[in-house]
Amino acid sequence: MGIQINSTDADNLGDNHIGTSSDTPIRDDAFLLNHEEKIEIIKDDVKHIMETLGLDLTDDSLRGTPNRVAKMFVNEIFSGLDPEKKPKASTFQNKYNYGEMLVEKKYYSLFNLRTSFTPNCWKSACGLYFKWNCRWIIQNE
């Protein structure tokens, strides 16, 4: 892919970056490669990182790590980038005539920051007010 990043500018910016969009900034060619092709490229990159860190990839505990990490990135951590997996919104009638707010107090969100790939887990609460129809987002499995 060969994307050039000015590391001096990135270092100067540090944690002071400002999100300019709620949409994930994604290139037009993001889906030209299939999952297997992406895994092969990422596997080589992970292997290079591990070798750079001085890890012995001939050790049986590390031998398959580049492939496992590449599959995890493509099939799990970043699987939500695939437009086919975008959640669908739907509505249903309020047949039971709920008039109160429904609150889900222990709602956990697990996600990776797009700026540092670090995992985050947020505990939050969600409230739904029922009037005529209820709106839910259905997550594809």
Supply the pLDDT for residue 80: 81
Distance in angstroms (rounded) separating the CA atoms of residues 103 and 128: 6
Q: What is the pLDDT of residues 30-85, one digit of tens each?
A: 899 999 999 999 999 999 999 999 999 999 999 999 999 999 999 988 888 887 87
What does the DSSP 8-state code read for residue 72?
H
Residues 6+ apart with CB under 8 A from 120: 109, 110, 111, 112, 113
CATH top-level class for 30-83?
A: mainly alpha
Residue spans per domain, the chain = 30-83, 87-141
Which of 82, 129, 123, 124 is closest to 101 using CA atoms?
129
